[in-house]
Structures are given as C-alpha cells and as structure tokens.
Amino acid sequence: MPRYVIERDIPGAGKLSPQELHAISQKSCDVLQSLGPKIQWQHSYVTADKVYCVYIAPNAEMIREHARQGGFPADRVSEVNTIIDPLTAE
C-alpha cells in the first residue's frame, strides 16, 4: 500500500502544549477508526509552523478525507516513491 507524507501548515505548531497535541492526536485517531483499517498513521514531525505526517493509505483522496473529517489542513500530500537511509550508501 502507498505511503504518503502530508505537509500541514499550522502556524505556531511548535508551541502547541502537550494537552493540545494530545487532543489533535485523539481527533486524528477517532477519524482513522471511522475510516477503517486501510488508512494508518505512522508518525508525525512537529516543526515551528508545520506538521509533517507519514501515513499509509490506498490513495491520496483518503488522506484528504481524513483531513476534512478531522478539521485539520492537508496542504500538500506527496506519495513516497522510495525510502533511503545510510544503508542505501553501502
């Protein structure tokens, strides 16, 4: 199944409190549960003004539907073509 990186523009994301991050995460999990097992959230990276999320889903439209139902942005949805790491250099 394809893997996606979702870029979410969220001004002040890096200043969100643990409680706010918990609430956002819970909302995301609630929506994921309603959408079914074909979409999975792997993890996210929070920066100053963006959140980058890694998901597995059958298509980009399901990612966008998750964002619509959750009430958070999905400003850019990019399918991952290849994963590289230091072992790629060997």
pLDDT in tens, 47-69: 999 999 999 999 999 999 999 99
pLDDT band at 40 (very low <50, low <70, confident <90, very high): very high
Q: Does pTM top 0.95 for this prediction?
A: no
Q: Is 32 helix (H, G, I), strand (E, B) or coil?
A: helix
Q: Which domains does the chain have, with CATH numbers?
A: 3-82 (3.30.70.3090)
Q: Please, are residues 41 and 55 in contact by the beta-carbon 8 Å criterion?
A: yes
CA 28 to chain centre: 9
Which letter does DSSP use for residue 59 in this model? -
Q: Give phi and psi for 83, each to the nearest 5.
A: -110, 130
Give the strand order in the sheet containing 50-56.
40-46, 50-56, 3-9, 76-79
Question: Which amino acid type is present at position 26?
Answer: Q
